[in-house]
């Protein structure tokens, strides 16, 4: 059949140029049951805080890693409404590192500000990250919250600077991270905050100073800002097929390549976990952000039944069996 007319784009050009920073969010919510029951509310607050508190030039790229229809519908709505610049939908869950391989190759910015889909952003987060990235030599990752239990991981490059020194950089050990931040972090990942604080009671942070900027010698792979080329260099060549894991290996690869992993000294982001706590809801409302209903914090008392030998193994087996029956085969 003959061509009808001429492609209207022929001979024309676009004035679009990608922003220096691509904010990249990874999302995986396969259903809205059980563990994922409240995850859509968390994702909505994450995107709302990101949109409200990132006035700096950026492109927002969302990679959805096999989520259920209500989540995909919401993301399409955000894309059509102009909140999300680029939306990549995967038909299946290709694993976190698999998603990273596509996500960081797709991002057009020289710098990628990565986050999982359960991160709350405070005002000023992006300039604070970029300031750390520019102030220190050989920085591979900058996170927006220092966490005590991350400092011993993938820190060979930091120890090398500590022992040999670096021009214009001073290093001290200080008690800097407030207990409140650590407790919030513990709750968001399902840990008993009292036990967590007790285990980190004697910890001191490695604090770096350069050009009037302070940073803590640790980073978190659930949220970080990085030069795109460094993450691409650190990612494995092979596809392992693993749905989770391999993130510590990514941290180590960045460190082994000689790049520092740092955090801001202030809390510019917050990990929310899989449900909105009452405190998180109050924080969001203080910034005028609409959110879903809060979920009461869990009790950390162990049920007597779970102390019976073999019960924990049986419950986990039944949980995994139920999950497989409901969702194996890509039920959407």
Q: Which of 62-76, 232-246, 290-304 shows the lowest mean pLDDT across its residues?
A: 290-304
Neighbours of 305 (CB within 10 A): 9
Q: Which residues contact residue 26 at a Cβ distance below 8 angstroms, ignoring those fewer than 6 apart? A: 62, 63, 65, 96, 99, 100, 103, 114, 115, 116, 117
Helix (H), strand (E) at residue 247 = helix 247-256
How far apart, in whole angstroms, are the C-alpha atoms of residue 215 and residue 92?
A: 38
Phi first, then psi, for residue 257 (nearest 5°) are -80, 0
Q: Tens digits of per-residue pLDDT, 85-135?
A: 999 999 999 999 999 999 999 999 999 999 999 999 999 999 999 999 999
- Show me where the domains of the chain are located: 21-286
Q: Per residue in 47-74, is it b (16+ CB within 10 Å) or e — as a string?
A: bbbbbebbeeebbbbbbbbbbbeebbeb
Mean local confidence (pLDDT), 222-243: 86
Question: Which CATH code fits 21-286?
Answer: 3.90.550.10
pLDDT value of position 173: 86
Sheet strands side by side (includes 59-65): 86-90, 59-65, 21-27, 111-116, 223-227, 139-143, 260-263, 213-216, 205-210, 170-174
Q: Tens digits of per-residue pLDDT, 153-194?
A: 667 888 888 777 677 888 888 888 888 888 888 888 778 888
């Amino acid at each position: 059949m003959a061509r009808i007319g001429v492609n209207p784009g022929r001979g024309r050009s676009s004035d679009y140029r990608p922003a220096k920073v691509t904010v990249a969010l990874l999302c995986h919510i396969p259903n809205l049951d059980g563990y994922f029951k409240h995850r859509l509310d968390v994702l909505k607050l994450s995107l709302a805080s990101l949109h409200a508190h990132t006035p700096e030039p950026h492109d927002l790229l969302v990679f959805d890693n096999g989520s259920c229809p209500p989540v995909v519908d919401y993301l399409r709505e955000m894309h059509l409404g102009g909140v999300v610049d680029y939306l990549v939908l995967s038909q299946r869950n290709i694993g976190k590192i698999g998603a990273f391989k596509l996500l960081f190759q797709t991002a057009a910015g020289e710098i990628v500000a990565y986050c999982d889909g359960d991160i709350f952003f405070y005002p000023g987060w992006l300039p604070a990250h970029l300031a750390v990235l520019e102030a220190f030599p050989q920085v591979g990752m900058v996170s927006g919250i220092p966490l005590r239990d991350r400092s011993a991981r993938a820190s060979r490059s930091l120890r090398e600077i500590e022992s040999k020194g670096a021009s214009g950089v001073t290093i001290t050990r200080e008690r800097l991270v407030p207990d409140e931040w650590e407790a919030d972090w513990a709750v968001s990942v399902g840990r008993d905050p009292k036990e967590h604080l007790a285990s980190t009671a004697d910890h001191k942070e490695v604090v770096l100073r350069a050009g009037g900027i302070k940073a803590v010698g640790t980073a978190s792979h659930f949220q970080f800002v990085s030069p795109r080329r460094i993450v691409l260099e650190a990612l494995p060549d092979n596809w392992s097929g693993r749905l989770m894991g391999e993130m510590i290996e990514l941290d180590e690869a960045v460190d082994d390549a000689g790049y520092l992993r740092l955090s801001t000294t202030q809390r510019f982001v917050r990990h929310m976990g899989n449900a909105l706590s009452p405190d998180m809801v109050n924080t969001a409302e203080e910034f005028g952000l609409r959110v879903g209903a809060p979920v009461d914090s869990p009790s950390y008392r162990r049920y007597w039944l779970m102390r019976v030998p073999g019960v924990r193994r049986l419950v986990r087996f039944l949980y995994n069996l139920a999950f497989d029956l409901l969702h194996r085969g890509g039920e959407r």
